[in-house]
Structure 1
Amino acid sequence: MTGAHGGTTARRRPAWISVITKVELGLAATALAVLFLLVLVQAAQRYLPVGGWSWTGELARFCLVWVTFTVAGVLVTTDSHIALQLVDNVKNPKVVRFVRVLASAIVAVIGAGFAAEAWELMSSQGQLKSPSLRMPLTFLYLFPFLGFLSTAVRGAVAAVVFAVRGVPAPVGTTEVQSA
């Protein structure tokens, strides 16, 4: 299994990262399954003689948000996020290491900033409720907050790991690109 930068994603990870990854993937899979079922219900409602339920569309949109942001941190750890691979062709391991550390640090800072904004939304939107479900919007913003927090922590960990251990070698080799 390889990531966007050609490194292996099956390398050893601490147990707590594996547990958090499984929880995040489980939440995302649940939200995706609920999203799928709600879209089927919406499609079926068109052909039934009863009125539609407006909450199904609203919850489906919320599930899409939750799926998207819940797995953001997982993408950082598995190196599966969208990335430019130009640096991977550079032969100097110091340059590759520097760019990967810098990129991971930037991801961590941006994730922390978004987590802070999601926290602000959770704090300030407590009185507001969604139109159909009457769900407090604090709950809507909980999963983006957790996803961005996970992204920030995982980005920081990746930056430290790349700085200390080097960048994983491209597929087909077993050595680490270190300076």
Structure 2
Amino acid sequence: MRVLTALELGVACLAGALIFVLILYQALQRYLPVPGVVWTGELSEFALVWLTFGACGVLVTRDGHIALQLVDAFPRPGVVRAVHVLAMVLVAVIGAGFAWACWELVSAAGFLTSPALGLPMAWVYAITLVGLVSTTIRALARAVHVARFGVPEADGPVVPGVVGPGAPATEDGGRP
């Protein structure tokens, strides 16, 4: 899992760096006497898609996706656990649906190329497909983990007076 996470984060970092360099070059080519390159905008758009979908599996694993923290403060841990499991199952179902649609794009776009760069569109969609499959698998694994062991400490409710992340400090700077 660590190797997969490192690979996904590597793709996301590479895509982010690619976006930065290409957009910077586009800005510079407007004001400097350098030849304009047509495909820089197109490749930066593809990199944004790769960044988004390449990192979404990691966000699910690290619970970095959009969440309703109001549920985490609910006083019944069983309800909190059930909501977390339901949320992860929904993420997995939606991820699987998107992965299926993306697979259709990969298989149907074999002969299509991007207009400016000439990049095969199946390559563009393939990176997105890998990210969506990763998201689906990681969401299912997280749902099983939460169902078996409960919501991890870092994800659990922040209750005043309880030692842990977010607990209020005492006057001497320590935790109660």
- Under a length normalisation based on structure 2, what TM-score does the superposition of the two structures give? 0.86
1:165 aligns with 2:146: no
Larger Rg: 2
- What secondary structure is seen at the aligned counterpart in 2 of 1:112? helix
What is the percent sequence identity of the aligned residues? Answer: 53
Alignment of 1:2-151 (within 5 A): 17-151=1-135
Take 1:21 and 1:96, find their aligned partners in 2: how far apart are those partners? 27
> Which of these residues, 119, 140, 144, is aligned with residue 156 of structure 1?
140
CA distance in 1: counterparts of 2:116 and 2:32, whole angstroms: 20
Equivalence for 1:14: none
Which whole-Å CA distance do the structure 1 matches of 2:128 and 2:142 have between them?
A: 20
Runs of 4+ in structure 1 deviating by more than 3 angstroms, as ranges, are: 170-174
Higher relative CO (Cα under 8 Å, sequence separation at least 6) belongs to 1
SS in 1 for 2:31: coil
Q: TM-score, structure 1 length as denominator? A: 0.84
Tell me the CA shift for residue 50 of structure 1.
Answer: 4.2
Once the two structures are TM-superposed, the CA of residue 49 in structure 1 deviates from its matched residue by 2.9
**C-alpha distance after superposition, 1:10-52 (max 9, x if no partner):** xxxxxxx111111100111011111111111111111233441
Q: CA offsets, 1:148-173, max 9 Å, x none?
A: 10110000001100111111133644
Distance of 1:125 and 1:74 partners within structure 2:
27
Unmatched tracts of structure 2, length 5 or more: 166-176
Distance 2:35 2:11 in 1: 31
**RMSD (CA atoms):** 1.4
Aligned residues: 158
